[in-house]
Amino acid sequence: MAIGILNIVAGYKDYKYSKELLQRPIAIISRYESMTPIVISLIYNVLFGGLIGVVGNIYELTIRNFVIANREIFQRAENRNF
């Protein structure tokens, strides 16, 4: 139950960030630079059976890899709007 609540809170924060990102694309790279929060979330979801959380974390790792691979493009977008 607690893992589900943590996943709902994390999902809500990500949802709010995605809406803000459409208006002001800033801090994209800094948000995804560190893998630590994603890995910690993945570990507690694996240990405590949060299947939807595991899927969400794998998706977030995919997004992170995309952002890191296209760092220059995201940096230009941030600089243009800053």
Residue 2 lies in a domain: no
Report pLDDT for 55.
93
Examine residue 37 and state whether it is found in any structural domain, yes or no: yes
Q: What is the pLDDT of residues 16-42, one digit of tens each?
A: 998 888 888 888 888 899 999 999 999
pTM for the model: 0.79
Residue 15 lies in a domain: no
**Angstrom distance (rounded) from CA 24 to CA 19:** 9
What are the backbone angles phi and psi of residue 70, rounded to the nearest 5°? -115, 35
Q: Is residue 27 part of a domain?
A: no
**Within a domain: 78:** yes
Give the dihedral of Cα atoms 72, 81, 9, 48; nearest 10 deg: 0
Domain containing residue 64? 32-82
Q: Rounded to whole angstroms, how far apart are CA atoms 46 and 69? A: 27
